[in-house]
Every structure is written in C-alpha cells, then in structure tokens.
Structure 1
Amino acid sequence: MKRIPLLIGIIALIASVCSTPSASAAKTGGLQFGACPQDLATPYPHLDCATLQVPLDYSRPFGAKVAVTISRAKATDPATRRGVLFLNPGGPGGGAAEYAGRLTAVSSTGQTRIPSSVLKMYDVIGMDPRGVAHSTPMSCGDLSAWSSPLPDPDAASQRETWWKLLGEFSAACERNAGNMLPFVNTKTVAMDMDRIRQALGEEKISYLGFSYGTYLGIAYASAFPNRLDRVILDSAVNPTPREMAYQGWAVLGQNPAMHRRRDTYFEWVARYDDVFGLGTTKDQVRAAWDTVIADLRRAPRGHAGPFEFILATFDTMYSEGGWQNFTQAISDFVNRNDDTRLKAVTPNLATPANHNFLSIFNAVSCTDSPWPRDRETWERDATEHASRYPNYAVWYNTWYNAACQNWPVPAQERALPDPDQVPPILIFNSEGDPSTPIEGARALRQLLPSSRLVTEVNAGKHGVVFGPLALNNSAANQIGADFLVSGTLPAQDVSIPGHPFPVPVRQTANAAVSQASPAKLRLGVE
C-alpha cells in the first residue's frame, strides 16, 4: 500500500537516532526534543525530534527496550493550540518522521499540504514505528532471497522456485530478527503511540492515517478509544474479513481494483499518442505494455525482469504523478529499443533499503491477521483470478505476499473497534483506488455508524486528502480541515469531484531520466 513518494530509500539500513539534545532543548513530558537527524533537519529545518524507549514486549515492561523516534512541527499559533495530530503514511514500513516534514513544509508558492488553519492548532507528530527508519531497525538480514531480476511471476514452471525463495526469506527472518519479530505488529505499534501520548503529556490525540495507516488508527481506536479526539482515515483498509489482508486490501480485493485502474491508465496514455506514440486506443496501449513484458521474459535488462516491471507498473498506478515518466520509459523501449529509462523506473530489490522495507512489510502484514497456510489455496485463488483478470499482475500480487503462507510468527486476530466507544471518524477514499478498494471504505463506514465517508468520484488515486499540491483536491482538503479545526462532519456521506488528471509535456531524454525514480514498494501515499 503503498506511495508518498517515499521512494526506495525510505528505510535506512542503520538507524539514525536524534542528535543528543542541547542544554536548550525543549522538554515535553517524558520526551526531550532537540535537533533532528541530518536527513530530516536539512530538508525540514522547522522540525524538532525526540526518541522514547519503549518495551520490546509489553507483557514484560521492565525487560528489553526499543527506541521509537518522532518528529514534531509545532503549532504555529500557540494561543489557539488544540493538541497533537499524529500521522502515519502507510506501508506497513513507512516512517512518519519525514512525512510530518513533508506535509507541513512551506512550498515555493507559500502553500502547505496540511492547511494553515490546521497547522495553527496542532503539533504535528510523525512517529517512525518500531523497526522503521530512525527507530530501532529490524532486518531479516539476507539480501539474496530478493536478488533482481526475480523469477517470472506468471510462469507455472517457476512456482516451486517462488515457494522456495519465500520459504528461505521467512527462515532468514526467523534466524536474523527472531527476538524482535514477534513484537513488530500493528497492535504493538498502537501501544507505542499511546506511550508517546503519555510522554507528551496529552490527554488525547488526533490522528491522520493513510492506507495501511488507517488500520493503525483502527487498532489504536480498538485499544484506546477514550484517548482519541479527531480522526481522519484516508484510503481505508477493510478490517472486517477475518483474513483481513488476504481477502481485502493486499491480495484478492486488490486484484480487480488494480485491473480497473490499469485500464484507466491505458486510456489516459491513448489520449496522448502525440506524446508517447503507443497507440490511440486502450487495447493498442495494452499491446505495447505486453511487448515490454514479452521482451523482458526473453532477456531481462540488467535488474529489470518481468517481476520488476510489473512491480513498477503496479506501484505507478497509485498516483498519476508518476504516469508521464513511466510511460516515456515504455515508449522509449517499444519505439526505440532504449532501455535507459526502463531500468531507471524499475526497482532493484536486492538493496539494503528495499530489503528492510520488505522485512517490515512482511513482519507486520503476516502477523496482523490470519492468512491461508496451505499452498493449494494460494495457487487455486491466483489461478481463478488470473482467468477473470487476464494480462494483469495476479501472480505478481500473490508472490509479493506469499511469505505469509509460512511465516514463523503466528498471526493475530485483527483489531475491531467498538462502534459505541469510538468518536466520529471521517473516512476518505477514491472510487477507483487500486490499493485499498472503495468496498473497504464502505465496509468500515458500516462498521462505524457515527463515521462519514467522503468519496472522490471519477478518480483512482490512492490518497485523497492533503495530497501533493499538483494533484490536490480542494474540496477534500476543505472537508478535512473543517473537521480538524472545528469538529464539523458532513451531515451525511458525500461525493466530491475527482482531482484533474495530468497533461503530459514533452521532455528531453536527460530531463526524463533525471526525474524517473524506481517504484516505491507499496508505501501507498505521496
């Protein structure tokens, strides 16, 4: 779920904790705020940071500890300050310390993604969950399992290779991260959030969660409903199926939604044949995409094989922000046999940063809710979906998550809040969201009768409110700001028009390559 672009480098191999606070550092509750790590301080000088030691295992509160790092953008009008607004950008595996800077930074035009009316009233808090970024890191430690190019996901002859690869990855996680592995899950991260709340000296927190971050909000609401003030969940995980991730947002629920979204993308490309030269119809553009896959199956281009290209396609669908560069890569390859841009936009998974993301992604996803434990179910469901959604990445989506079939840590039951205890929640979703399909937001709305659902129609971007300035939806931003500032909810569920789609412009080859960036591994928001 990925996609802020927190691109491939979002997870550091070595944790960077906040600088030792100076004598003038501000102390809040049990936290000592001071300078942020350089990678945060340089782009976001308005942030300060702190680190809190929390129990590795909350059943043994006086045992081993892990560090959890937060950043803070202080309320710009202390006289009207309401409290703290926690963030989570998604993943699982995304850190919010950087995201807090991104959403509160002033652009060259004087704008901020979170509206100034909200920033006046809240300290914005970005927590890097345990195992992620500047907090105590977790890694499965074996890069070889994800060396690119990976096997062809659609080839029946490669299925035993995939099961072996994923089994080795699971065993590496148990071997190299075994002491931490049972305690990297969303329910435990929610407990870390509440420890930070206490350390900040706050009675309650407000919360803004995107993608997987909506489930973190749900887990916090389940455990600490009386500690919540105002909550926005954008691009909502459906927590109602028992096999929450498998049946919902990660595999089976995602396949049809992503298939529809890719068709929307092909239609967009076809409107700009004068720019890309890939055809004037959806079918012609799909044929060009098929040409790339077929060529990479014959001979990968460096690290870019069919799996990596499908991954890049999949993650490009989350936001139109990357459509031009990705499409130019396809155009160069098909029309000029030039793979320079193609290799630039496809990820090499065998890097420490990517491996750490995959470690956290699996550690959390595989333990937050049950998964099928037999291969036959996975292969039967993938085969059936592949027949319903031909020429789509069904098997890729299966293999991306299939380490959960044999994960070494038992899965928990998913968290479900008590609707009578939870305050009213504002939910956003685009109707064509490929990662967290609209059906999940509707199910969450039914689960929480006091909530309200805002649907962005004629849109499929993953993430609706407070989005990138080039793709923002002013109506969504106004509804979100009104709620956070005054507590005003729509009287009923509402639909709002979609944000504009981008209009591509011609670029020089050098400019396009310099702007191309690899897929972001399902983080989900920008």
Structure 2
Amino acid sequence: MRSKRIFLTVVLGVAAASVPLLAPSAASAAPADAALSAYFDQRLDWHSCDDGGPAECADVEVPLDYGRPGGKSISIAVSRIKASEPSERHGVLFMNPGGPGGEGLTLPAMMLEKNVIPDSVSRRFDLIGFDPRGVGRSAPVDCGLTDQELSLSGPAYRPETFEEDVSRARTVAEKCQGKNSGVLAHITTRNTARDMDVIRGALGEKKISYLGISYGTYLGAVFTQMFPERADRFVLDSAMNPGRVWRGVFQDRAQDTERAFTRWTQWTAQRHATYGLGDTPDEVRESFWALFNRPAPNPVHDFVSGFPTVFYDVDKAAKTIAGLNTADPTNAPASGTPGKPAAGPSAASGATGNFYSAYWSVTCADSDSWPRDPEQYSRDAALDKQKNPLFAGSASNINACAFWPKATEPTTTVDNTTGALIVNNEWDSQTPLVGATGLHKAMKGSRMVTVHDGVGHGVYGTNPCADDAVNTYLTTGRLPEKNLSCRSTG
C-alpha cells in the first residue's frame, strides 16, 4: 500500500422512498415539514476538535427516523477546515473514506497532512469530515461480536460445515438486534445521504461538493440520486457498481480475483527463471494449486486463504508464494486433484468492533434483496466455489443479512445525469474496475479516469495524471470532454 493511501478500505442502494426524499428546490434551505425544517435551521457550536489538529468540530442533530422527524434525534460528529483563501472560496467539500463503517471526522486533516489535497483545492473549499451515523462519534452501533464473529463476508463454503455457518450468521444478527433495538433499520446509506443534506443546510450551503472513496462512491451516488440539485462537484474514487449492491458487489469481487489470477499466471510464466513456478500459464496454475494443497502446516495455503486478492499485485504474489515454497520445502504435494482455498477475504486491518457492527448494519439494511432461505445460500455458494475457487464460495455463502430485519426502503436505483468524475485503478482488488464502469453507466453525466496497469485501492494522491484531472475538476468545475486513460507510475 502506497504511503499516501490514508483511507479505510473494505471492500467495500436505494430508489423510490417510503419516507420523504427531502429534496427541496435549490433555492430553499429546508423542506416544508416544520419538524424537519428545524434540523436544517439549527445553529452549530464550533469548537476545537479533541485531537488538537487544524479542524474545528461540531455536532449536528438529525432525525433517527426521517419518516418521523418529530421523534428521536441523534448527533452526527462533523469537522471543518475552512478554505485558506476566503476571497477564492467556492463552497464545501464533503469527504467519506469508505467502509461502510469508516470514520471520516479526521479525514480532511489527514488528507492535508499527507499532501493529497493540494493548495489549489484547499484555497477554494471548506473541507468537511464526518462520522456517518452508527460510526465513531455519531451514535455508534456495537453488536458485541467476538473475535471469531468479526468478518466482512460469509465464510468459505463447505457442505459439512454449512449448518455451523447458518448458526453463526443467525447469532451475529441476533446480537446486533439485541444491542441496538430500534436503531438498525435506520443505519442505511440513504439515511446517511439525508444526514449530509441536513449538514449542508446547517452550514448554510445550497450545494455540496464531495470526495468519496470506496464505499464512499456509493454514498455519493445515492446522494446524487436523492438530491441531484444539491450536488456540485463529485469525485468518486475506486467505485462500487450501485446496481450490484450488496451481494452482487461481493460476487463481482470474487469473479474479478480469478481474472487477476489468470493475469498472474501469465506474468509469472514469463519469469520462470526467477520464480521457478512454470514456463507456461497452465504450469504456473498447476504449481500453485499443488503448493496450496500441501498438508498442514502449509504457509501457502494459509497466506492465500487469508488474502486471495494478493494476485492483483503480480510481483508481490510471485515473490511471496515462491518464497513460502522455498521456506517450507519438505511438504510433499497432497494426492488427488487441486483443492480450493479454505477462507474468504481477510478483514480490514485495525478495524474495530464498531466498524464491523456498522458494516453489517449498512450492508444488510441497505438492500431488500438478501435471500432469506439458507438453502439458497448453500446452492449459490457451491456454484460460486466452482467458478471462483480463490474465494471458496465465501462471496455467496450465508451471512448475518439472511436474518436481519427486513429493509424499510427498496434498494436505490442510481440512474441520473449528474456530473461526476470517477477514477479507478485497472487492478483494484477491493473495488474492481467493473464496478467503476457500472457506476459510469448509471451516472450518465459522469466522466471516467482509468489508471491502466494501476494496482491498489484508492487513486487520488498516488497518480499525477489522475490527480491533475481530479484537481482541475474540483477547482474549475469542468469535467474532461471524454473519458481519460492514465498510466501507472508504480
């Protein structure tokens, strides 16, 4: 991971609403509903943030349930770093680091500290960070999960352990419901987008600009669908396909990992003299599965099972697998045909219990299309394991969403002409390029910047060509005339 990548990544939708869309005309600061209007009219008490950094902080009150704005409220923690040149100020630039579950309160200060945000942007925008509802300092949810229950996907699929998978998924859902009764249904992307609009109103702004990373691209896309007249300059970095939320996002990631593995076999075959894994792609593939299937203790098996997306970085994968093979030369290959990895994707490094709780809260409550029949998960996971063996069926296996309270709103259909700039690496292991192209098709007014041969999650701050396109758009409001291609500099 490059040094300038400072955001949380995981991986990692909604349409006609059964509650108010809260999308008044651009000339209006607040909706007509009196109870809701009070939130837009609130005065914010700015003070120094606890970390002693350059930002100032405030709490913004929002309804827990936007369908009942006169009911319970919660506080959203917001930070602000004012534009350095007031005479050049254009507006506010909201930021989200991803997740779902990522804390964004300190993101503006971190982006400035790492020199990701240039002076040309910070002169023109108040930089706005916030912890989304359910996260960090914004009414955090906590399911009280054990270490064994901290996961960002279903487990690897095995028929003999499927009943255990069902039991664990049910337990996670029950724990979350038990500790967060009355709250889970409202921890959604749609409601976070509504919170952003309330923050906008409380700041006295007619529109917002936005930088969203990973899951933040989906949040940004939902905002443009719900509040198109409130969206100014939107940058969506490392994008999710809104038409695949959420189960399809996991499945696309598993499928794309196989594409990366095929590319790796080709690259490694050309370097047989260095790595000794075979001089054709087929030989490299056979060598890998033979190494993977060695009996325990097997460092190759353990490494790839925990990190199946390693193949996006061809050099790292070849060095690691060849090195692990050399370090443990006494294990003989197991008999029989090549087996399959035993575990799904690894969890985010350093993530907290709140992160996992918020992750599942949003992932499960966002979508009304999660299957409820465990047997459907079993069938789907078995097929997925055959097609995408590196993820071992985990992308389709059962998880807590099968037992989550049913979503209160339909999944958002993103289909608009709002302008936005989408940037993505060609070989992003967390949000594959197919997700960015899907978002580009859904947002017909967008332009796309693809970093060819680019590896890693998160583009902004890592590629001068892409950075130039982003910064030009943020400072001038002009999108490129056509989609752009940049070359990787890594």
The question of a shared fold, defined as TM-score above 0.5 by the shorter chain, is answered with yes
Distance 2:355 2:6 in 1: 14
Q: Distance in 1 between matches of 2:273 and 2:137?
A: 45
Q: Which residue of 1 aligns with 2:361?
A: 363
Matched, 1:238 2:241: yes
CA distance in 1 between counterparts of 2:80 and 2:287 reads 46
The aligned counterpart of 2:416 is: 419
What's the C-alpha RMSD, in Å, of the aligned pairs?
3.7
Q: Does 1:494 align with 2:489?
A: no
Deviations 1:144-176 (A, max 9, x none): 65179x997243311211111111111111111
User: Is the 8 Å Cα contact of residues 366 and 411 (structure 1) preserved in structure 2?
Assistant: no
Q: How does 1:285-300 map to 2 (within 5 A)?
A: 294=293, 298=296
Structure 2 vs 1, CA of residues 305 and 406 (structure 1 numbering), >3 Å: closer, same or farther? farther
Q: Does 1:405 align with 2:402?
A: yes
Amino acid paired to 1:388: K
Amino acid at match of 2:412: A
Superposition TM-score, scaled by structure 2 size = 0.78
CA distance in 2 between counterparts of 1:37 and 1:113 reads 23
Cα distance in structure 1, aligned partners of 2:230 and 2:8? 33
Alpha carbons of structure 1 residues 168 and 335: separation in structure 2 relative to 1, 3 Å:
same
- Structure 2 contact 239–431 (Cα < 8 Å) conserved: yes
Cα distance change of structure 1 residues 121 and 496 upon mapping to structure 2, 3 Å threshold: same
Q: Distance in 2 between matches of 1:351 and 1:117?
A: 33
**Structure 2 equivalent of residue 476 of structure 1:** 466
Could you say which structure has the larger radius of gyration? 2
Deviation at 1:476, TM superposition (A): 0.6
Residue 442 (structure 1) shift: 2.5
| Whole-angstrom distance in 2 between the partners of 1:147 and 1:257 | 24
Does the Cα contact within 8 Å between 1:95 and 1:129 map onto a contact in 2?
yes
Shift of 1:129: 0.4
Gaps of 5+ in 1: 10-27, 339-345, 501-526
Contact 2:62 2:73 in 1 (8 A): yes
Residue by residue over 1:411-441, the C-alpha shift from the partner in whole angstroms, topping out at 9 and shown as x without a partner, is 6322235625x3x111222333333333333
Equivalent-residue separation in structure 1 for 2:141 and 2:404 (angstroms): 16
Query: 1:99-498 residue pairs with structure 2 within 5 A?
Result: 99-105=107-113, 107=114, 112-143=115-146, 146=149, 153-240=156-243, 244-247=245-248, 249-251=249-251, 253-264=252-263, 279=277, 294=293, 298=296, 310-314=305-309, 333-336=324-327, 353-369=351-367, 370-390=369-389, 392-399=390-397, 402-410=399-407, 412-417=409-414, 419=416, 422=418, 424-464=419-459, 466-467=460-461, 472-498=462-488
Q: Which residue of the partner structure matches residue 96 of structure 1? A: 104
Query: What is the aligned residue count?
Result: 440
Structure 2 unpaired stretches of 5+: 11-40, 330-343
Question: How far 1:4 sits from its partner (Å)?
Answer: 4.9
User: 1:449 is paired with a residue of what secondary structure?
Assistant: strand
Three-state SS of the structure 2 residue aligned to 1:50 is strand
- CA distance in 2: counterparts of 1:266 and 1:104, whole angstroms: 39
- Change in CA separation of 1:300 and 1:334 when aligned onto 2, cut-off 3 Å: closer
In 1, Cα distance between the equivalents of 2:348 and 2:234? 37
Residues 206 and 442 of structure 1: CA distance in aligned 2, closer, same or farther (over 3 Å): same
Distance 2:350 2:442 in 1: 40
Q: Give distance in 2, aligned partners of 1:484 and 1:137.
A: 32
- TM-aligned CA deviation for residue 184 of structure 1: 0.3
Q: Which residue of 2 aligns with 1:49?
A: 57
Q: Provide the C-alpha distance between the structure 2 equivalents of 1:72 and 1:413, rounded to a whole number of angstroms.
A: 33
Alignment partner of 1:457: what SS? strand
CA distance, structure 2, for counterparts of residue 219 and residue 173 of structure 1 = 25
Q: Distance in 1 between matches of 2:214 and 2:277?
A: 33
% identity of equivalent residues: 32
Q: Distance in 1 between matches of 2:456 and 2:430?
A: 9
Q: Equivalent residue for 1:33?
A: 46
Of 81-90 and 152-161, deviating more is: 152-161
SS at match of 1:396: coil
User: Aligned equivalents of 1:124 and 1:179: distance in 2?
Assistant: 33
Normalising to structure 1: TM-score of the pair?
A: 0.73
Give matches, 1:71-86, under 5 Å: 71-86=79-94
Whether the 8 Å CA contact 1:8–1:354 is kept in 2: the answer is no
Code of the residue aligned with 2:69 in structure 1: it is P
Over 3 Å counting, the alpha-carbon distance change for 1:385 and 1:31 in structure 2 is same
